[in-house]
């Protein structure tokens, strides 16, 4: 993130007020390549394209917080690759990792990945190291260690339906798998932080936690997320879950989370009531149907509606209810930013 933006984010986390309403978006490979005008294959395979496209984004919208910014990733293949998944890269659609477990019992034979050597992880670190000087020159730093969450990774390794069945049918086997994945995530976050001393934030992305009931959430989510969000001692602890997030919101503090990006299906007021006043909320207009598919006027209307959903604008980063989807135009990003700025005049 830009250094001034990071400092302001820490200010929000600490409960202090800014003199403006920040706008920020989670951006990565679903949006950047097409917006920049290259294929996803070129984005993943070329350091030069990766750097230039990220630089163009931050320079085109200097007042927007792009989070985590300069994200070195290979889509949904990133973490499963370390466990040995076969990776499928397509020219025009998202990459995916093939499942490698036919059932939860197979998790016993899964290797414990070495995060310094396995899968795509060394390439991710190398990309950041090779481009770190240019990133710093652009007034940015590598601020976040990033990983998908344990339930999300488990669903990649064995299939979502199969994993959900395992939660119900084999709780002890599910715990063994989640522990193995959690240990991997903590190793991976720690290695990122060791490689880049500027990191003081953690971003975990896990939509599968929105698919379970409250009792399952307390058993299979809270204990592992508490470990993950405490393992590096990071100051900023950011969770993305744009599936159902009402149960998640209730337990954010218990899991050590202080920043939450959630589904547009929930209002800001609803999530604030559940999360409490101490969590920075990141939202909350429909990403696909409005930010990507709507007109600038519809984007403005959605922003105005979101402002009307809550009376206290502290600890809010105005954003989409999810990550930045493909096909979001520069015009609509500007419309979003201008709408937030116009609303701020009335505060």
Q: What is the DSSP letter of 277?
A: T
Q: Which CATH number fits domain 3-345: 1.20.120.330, 3.30.230.70, 3.20.20.210, 3.60.90.10?
A: 3.20.20.210
- b/e string for 243-254 if b means 16 or more Cβ within 10 A? bbbebbbbbbee
**pTM of the predicted model as reported, rounded to 2 decimal places:** 0.97
Would you say 128 and 195 are in contact if contact means Cβ atoms under 8 Å apart? Answer: yes
- E runs forming strands in 102-235: 144-148, 201-205
Question: If you ran DSSP here, which 8-state letter would residue 23 be given?
Answer: B
Write out residues in the chain with pLDDT < 50, as ranges.
Answer: none
The token pair that represents 32 in the structure block: 């950047």
| Continuous segment of H or E residues that includes residue 98 | none
CA distance readout (Å), 146 to 101, 125, 185, 188, 219 = 24, 12, 9, 8, 24
- The domain ranges of the chain are 3-345
Alpha-carbon distance of 242 to 324, in angstroms, equals 12
pLDDT attached to residue 347: 65
- Number of separate helices (H) and strands (E) present in the chain: 15, 10
In whole angstroms, give the CA distance from residue 53 to residue 33: 7
Residues 292, 192: Cα–Cα separation, whole Å: 32
Cα separation of the two ends of the chain: 27
Nearest to 245 by CA among 255, 232, 235: 255
pLDDT value of residue 303 = 97
Nearest to 113 by CA among 85, 142, 76: 85
Pairing outcome for strands 280-285 and 316-320: parallel
- Three-class DSSP labels, 103-124: CHHHHHHCCCCCCCCCCCHHHH
| Pair type for strands 96-97 and 87-88 | antiparallel
* Tokens encoding 6: 């990071």
Phi first, then psi: give them for residue 32, nearest 5 degrees. -60, -50
């Amino acid at each position: 993130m830009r250094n001034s933006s990071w400092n302001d984010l820490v200010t929000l986390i600490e409960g202090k007020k800014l003199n403006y309403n920040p706008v920020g978006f989670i951006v990565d490979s679903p949006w950047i390549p097409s917006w920049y005008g290259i294929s996803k294959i070129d984005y993943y395979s070329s350091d030069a394209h990766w750097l230039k496209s990220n630089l163009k984004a931050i320079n085109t919208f200097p007042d927007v917080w792009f989070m985590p910014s300069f994200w070195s990733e290979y889509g949904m293949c990133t973490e499963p690759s370390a466990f040995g998944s076969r990776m499928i890269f397509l020219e025009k659609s998202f990459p995916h990792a093939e499942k490698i477990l036919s059932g939860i019992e197979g998790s016993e034979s899964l290797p414990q990945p070495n995060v310094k050597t396995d899968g795509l992880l060394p390439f991710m670190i190398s990309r950041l190291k090779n481009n770190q000087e240019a990133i710093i020159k652009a007034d940015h730093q590598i601020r976040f260690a990033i990983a998908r969450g344990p339930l999300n990774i488990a669903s990649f390794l064995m299939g979502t339906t199969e994993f959900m069945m395992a939660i119900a049918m084999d709780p002890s086997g599910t715990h063994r798998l989640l522990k193995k994945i959690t240990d991997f995530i903590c190793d991976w976050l720690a290695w990122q932080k060791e490689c880049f001393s500027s990191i003081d934030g953690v971003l975990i992305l896990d939509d599968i936690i929105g698919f379970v009931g409250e009792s399952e959430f307390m058993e299979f989510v809270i204990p592992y997320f508490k470990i993950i969000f405490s393992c590096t001692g990071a100051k900023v602890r950011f969770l993305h879950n744009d599936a159902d997030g009402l149960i998640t919101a209730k337990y954010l503090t218990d899991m050590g989370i202080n920043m939450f990006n959630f589904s547009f299906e929930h209002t800001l007021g609803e999530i604030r009531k559940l999360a409490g006043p101490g969590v920075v909320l990141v939202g909350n207009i429909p990403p696909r149907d409005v930010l990507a598919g709507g007109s600038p006027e519809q984007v403005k209307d959605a922003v105005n509606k979101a402002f009307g959903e809550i009376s206290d604008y502290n600890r809010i980063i105005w954003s989409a209810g999810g990550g930045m989807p493909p096909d979001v135009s520069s015009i609509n990003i500007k419309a979003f930013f201008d709408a937030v700025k116009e609303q701020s005049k009335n505060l």
